Amino acid sequence: MIARFLFLAAIALLSGAPALAATSILGSWLTDDHKAIVRIAQCGPHLCGRIANILDKAPNVPAVDVNNPDPGLKSRKLVGLPILIGFRDGGEAWTGGRAYDPKSGKSYRSILKRNPDGSLKVSGCVLFICQSRRWTPAR
């Protein structure tokens, strides 16, 4: 009787509702300021995002990572630069990653979440203060 109960309990647990999975965010995204396109792709077990194109062609816009605090990285080209690193499926959002801002040279704990309208909410946090940006799919 106990064996039968345990067997039925195991079946009930295994047939329960599937775990939530974050909505896919793979693809190309136009940043909120419309100055760059970031391509998000699978990077090993995580997701990452690299600058695919700089749209701001003004003469004072740097082509390299001049604001990086590490002198050895200041000469890296912005196109191809990883700015979203280490994101994993957190159920409703992509979590556990960091976002690098080449304008400030700073890196932030970050969360990525697909909005119902198809845009991408990119949130960066320092301690408990967070700011969000809205990226749109690049065409």
Percent of the chain surpassing pLDDT 90: 75
Contacts of 2 (CB under 8 A, 6+ apart): none
Q: What is the mean pLDDT of the chain?
A: 87
Per-residue pLDDT, averaged over 43-56, amounts to: 96
For the cut 80, the answer to whether the pLDDT of residue 123 exceeds it is yes
The pLDDT value given to residue 2: 52
Structure confidence by residue, pLDDT tens digits, 87-121: 999 999 999 999 999 999 999 999 999 999 999 99
The pLDDT value given to residue 19: 55
The pLDDT value given to residue 14: 39
4 or 104: whose pLDDT is higher? 104
- Is 0.85 topped by the overall pTM? no
Domains and CATH numbers, the chain: 20-137 (2.40.128.520)
Comparing CA positions, the residue from 67, 35, 73 lying closest to residue 52 is 35
Longest dimension (CA), the chain: 79
Buried-state track 91-128, b at ≥16 Cβ within 10 A, e below 16:
eebbbebebbebeeeeebebbbbbeeeebbebbbeeee
Structure confidence by residue, pLDDT tens digits, 58-80: 889 999 999 999 999 999 999 99
Alpha helices in 1-90 (DSSP H): 2-14
